[in-house]
Structure 1
Amino acid sequence: MNDLVRVMKAADAAACWHVDQRRKGAAQEPYLNHLLEVASLVAEATGGREPDLVIAALLHDAVEDVGVTEEQVAQQFGARIAGIVMEVTDDKSLPKAERKLRQVASTSHKSREAKMIKLADKTSNLRTISASPAPDWSVQRRLDYVQWAREVVAQGRGVSPWLEAQFDAAAERAIASVSDHAV
């Protein structure tokens, strides 16, 4: 099976697995949009030369958010991709504050691939905070998220200058969007 077919199969699986999910933003866009944006960012950052990374990006939230198992990912897409997905999967049995601390503490020890997905994921999330913030997120919560995302990304820098620039621009836009609404 060629790489394009594999990527499309992963996009289809992501669409099926996340069909009922919506983003938290005011626009309530389909969650698949986030997965496609993360995959697009890593595809562009790698010049399209790393289809396994694009596939892992498409599937990066499947275990964490919808209960797909590592074994299902491995069976359909291979052990390498499942390993990358698991590397970026938070342990949802832990309290949210603990998960956030662990992301900061562990990112520097992750593989290059996991760091790239983290970078792209945080970039996508910050873009959403700018364009369509969650209605129940206060200005302070948005600022706190930007600060936390910067802390996570600081631990993963050095893998893609282009992707890091995308993140930095998204962080600046998120701060500006909060400033525009803070009266």
Structure 2
Amino acid sequence: MGRQALRTFGPVRAWAPLRAELSGRLPADTLAALDDAVDFATARHGGQTRPAGEPYLEHLLETVTVLTDGVGVSDPDMLVAAVLHDVVEDTDTTLEEVRDRFGPRVATLVAWVTKPDARPEEDKAATRARYLARLTNAPDDALCLKLADRLSNVQRLDTHPRPAKRRSYYRETVATFLPLADRHLWYATWYANWRQTFAHLDDTART
């Protein structure tokens, strides 16, 4: 039997159709919390786009879709954190603002998936290495969120405009996120399939 086709999520162009899809599965108060989070994220991310040019909100909503349709998450704090997961890292928003508006657990989840500020002696690579190493100690809910975020980022990796970034992102995902995915059966299966689908980016195999 051949390899199963890679399951992808989205693209999710807007909140309204996704909300309609989720309305039969999530309680009204969860949908209301997501309404607030989407409004907040839309205002804070503004006109930001992703590397391939898509509006930033698409990535945030894809992350929600991975959690709801892939993993089966209905936890409102996790879904709100999925919408907000880049708001501290990529905008002027502070964790305190997130905590005040969305509560301490959402803020904690966002903190786990937010890259830290560089230390005085660190270069960019060292800061990123420290961030990735920290994820090995992430609690299960934060790790589940991060794996959904990464899944959205890599599920269409060939659309990234920079070939070198495709290869480095592939290597980093294999080295760091596949071992982390082993903590969750659904993610372990998805990422193993992803690795095979994008094996053409494995430049280490040619050395």
- By the TM > 0.5 criterion, same fold? yes
Is 1:154 the counterpart of 2:178? The answer is yes
**Gap runs ≥5 in structure 2:** 1-27
Which of residues 88, 98, 116 in structure 2 aligns to 1:91?
Answer: 116
Quote the Cα distance in structure 2 between the aligned partners of 1:178 and 1:16: 38
> What is the identity percentage for the equivalent residue pairs of Structure 1 and Structure 2?
29
Q: Tell me if the contact between 1:143 and 1:178 (Cα under 8 Å) persists in the aligned partners.
A: yes
Greater mean deviation of Cα atoms: 10-19 or 153-162 = 153-162
Please give the residue correspondences for 1:103-182 in structure 2 after superposition, counting only pairs within 5 Å.
103-130=131-158, 132-134=159-161, 137-138=162-163, 140-176=164-200
Other-structure match for 1:14: 41
**Gap runs ≥5 in structure 1:** none
Which of residues 74, 87, 92 in structure 2 aligns to 1:67?
Answer: 92
Q: Tell me if the contact between 1:40 and 1:54 (Cα under 8 Å) persists in the aligned partners.
A: no
Q: Tell me if the contact between 2:181 and 2:187 (Cα under 8 Å) persists in the aligned partners.
A: no
- Rg larger in structure: 2
CA root-mean-square deviation: 2.2
Greater mean deviation of Cα atoms: 65-74 or 8-17 = 8-17
Greater mean deviation of Cα atoms: 155-164 or 83-92 = 155-164
Greater mean deviation of Cα atoms: 36-45 or 92-101 = 92-101
**Number of equivalenced pairs:** 173
Deviation at 1:163, TM superposition (A): 2.8
Structure 2 CA distance for partners of 1:10 and 1:157, relative to 1, 3 Å: same
Q: TM-score, normalised by structure 2?
A: 0.74
Q: Secondary structure at the match of 1:21?
A: coil
Is 1:49 the counterpart of 2:51? The answer is no
